[in-house]
Structure 1
Amino acid sequence: MSDLKGKTAIVTGASKGLGAAVARRFAEGGAQVTIAARSKEQLEQLAQEYPDQMLAVTCDVTQGDRVEAMVDQTVKHFGKLDILVNNAGVGRFGQIHELSEADWDLMMDVNLKGAFLTSKAAIPHLKDTKGHIVNVSSVAGTVTFPGGGGYCASKFGLMALSDVLTQELKKDEVKVNTICPGSIQTEFFRNPKSYALTAEQVTEAIWTMVTAPAGVIYNQVIMRPQVPPDMQK
């Protein structure tokens, strides 16, 4: 298929950055989109750009009852659910002995538990539509680095969750895609490199995943920026 006309999607972490870019691309491609995040004001501003296609739902993805309500509201409003993009994520960095318990718990709750809760709530509806789950992981879900212990652990966990979902849902023809981008030029990264990926570049990769031809699954994509020769070590 060449577009998402007639499809309904949920994008978490959609108030800004990559999530907002994905939501806009989906809407421009014809989809109806529930945009979910904790920031009500930012969500409503985004929804005003596509008033006939976007539904803004304030949701903390770490709270199961809130997630279930968000999925139910989506299906009630749009009639079905075809695509779930688990994009909500946080990063707290520091060496293990310096990382606070609160920061560790926050990353596990948002980056991993959040994807579990949203997938759990969405799966019954995605089985009905033979839909998609797109998990936004990271290069940090494939390799580790000093200072990234908590973040890497949460993203490695997300990779494992994606693999299990792939195995459990293949008989239902629900596609599970995982994208692992490097640094992106968004608010998430305090000082991204000048050559870092843009949200739009990563969004196009996600678009390719969800518009893949019938019978094709882009199971896992690792996406890195091309480093200019004069900036290479």
Structure 2
Amino acid sequence: MADLKGKTAIITGASKGLGAALARRFVEGGAHVAIAARSKAQLEKQAKEYPDQILPVPCDVTCSDQVKTLIEKTVNQFGQLDILVNNAGIGRFGTVQDLSEEDWDQMMDVNLKGAFLTSKFAIPHLQQTKGHIVNISSVAGTVTFPKGSGYCASKFGLMALSDVLSQELKKDEVKVNTICPGSIQTEFFETAPSYALTAEQVTEAVWHMVTAPEGVIYNQIIMRPQVPPELQK
């Protein structure tokens, strides 16, 4: 059975929801994991479950100095970096006319700039280990919807960033994976439909990405929940 023994991962947006589920799965699969988010208290609470395997690092992914510190602390603690999961993300929804400039900027900063910064500073270490970058995008990175201008634009941008990273890092044998899930039953959605994906279901898809057989890359996965027939339009 594939596992992550001897591997080190960084997961952003890891204090709750999908990020927290990913951290647990990676640790249970043998990895050391640095978990990053802005909430120090939530990170430390999670780290207590696996004190020898989880390193909590408060980090705002939109600030380059904090991202550099995240990478440095992880490598200093565990000796290497094999996997970067860019999971941090926010959503603000409204028509273009009603969406505030602040909300637009926050989505671009967290969802897109954050992934750029973490990738930028992680790449030298990932080149050494022939590692992975996993970008958590969204179905909203492949199709648009009303009131989703800023969110869709940031996720479409993340898809483009993923493609460029894949091309640039191919020669270094660094794998770049992108997963595009639909609605997930996490704090991200105030009222996710009952049939929405669970964090654990998405986590298993990511797990298969990072434990793929040698020579195999799951470049992009679009993952949707199965809608009950009576609710289909």
Aligned counterparts of 2:7 and 2:195: Cα–Cα separation in 1? 34
1:30 aligns with 2:35: no
1:137 to partner: Cα distance: 0.1
Aligned counterparts of 2:45 and 2:170: Cα–Cα separation in 1? 37
The alignment partner of 1:11 has SS state of strand
Match of 1:111 in 2: 111
1:32 to partner: Cα distance: 0.1
The alignment partner of 1:35 has SS state of strand
Match of 2:188 in 1: 188
The alignment partner of 1:9 has SS state of strand
Read off the aligned partner of 1:214 and give its amino acid letter: E
Aligned counterparts of 1:128 and 1:68: Cα–Cα separation in 2? 17
Aligned counterparts of 1:66 and 1:121: Cα–Cα separation in 2? 11
1:44 aligns with 2:44: yes
1:230 to partner: Cα distance: 1.0
The alignment partner of 2:186 has SS state of coil
1:112-191 mapped onto 2 (5 Å cutoff): 112-191=112-191
The alignment partner of 1:85 has SS state of strand
Aligned counterparts of 2:61 and 2:181: Cα–Cα separation in 1? 21
1:185 to partner: Cα distance: 0.1
Aligned counterparts of 1:24 and 1:168: Cα–Cα separation in 2? 31
1:157 to partner: Cα distance: 0.1
The alignment partner of 2:50 has SS state of coil
Deviation string 1:57-102 (CA, Å, 9 cap, x unpaired) is 0000000010001100000000000000000000000000100000
Match of 1:221 in 2: 221
Aligned counterparts of 1:201 and 1:166: Cα–Cα separation in 2? 25
Aligned counterparts of 2:154 and 2:230: Cα–Cα separation in 1? 33
Match of 1:14 in 2: 14
Match of 1:211 in 2: 211
1:115 to partner: Cα distance: 0.0
User: How well do the aligned residues superpose, as a CA RMSD in angstroms?
Assistant: 0.5
The alignment partner of 2:97 has SS state of helix
Q: Percent identity?
A: 79
1:202 aligns with 2:177: no
Aligned counterparts of 1:115 and 1:91: Cα–Cα separation in 2? 15
1:84 aligns with 2:84: yes
Read off the aligned partner of 2:59 and give its amino acid letter: C
TM-score after normalising by structure 2 = 1.00
Aligned counterparts of 2:92 and 2:203: Cα–Cα separation in 1? 24
Aligned counterparts of 1:228 and 1:100: Cα–Cα separation in 2? 36
Aligned counterparts of 1:40 and 1:201: Cα–Cα separation in 2? 26
The alignment partner of 1:97 has SS state of coil
Read off the aligned partner of 2:119 and give its amino acid letter: S
Aligned counterparts of 2:134 and 2:127: Cα–Cα separation in 1? 15
Aligned counterparts of 2:176 and 2:40: Cα–Cα separation in 1? 29
The alignment partner of 1:96 has SS state of coil
1:154 to partner: Cα distance: 0.1
Match of 1:64 in 2: 64
The alignment partner of 1:121 has SS state of helix
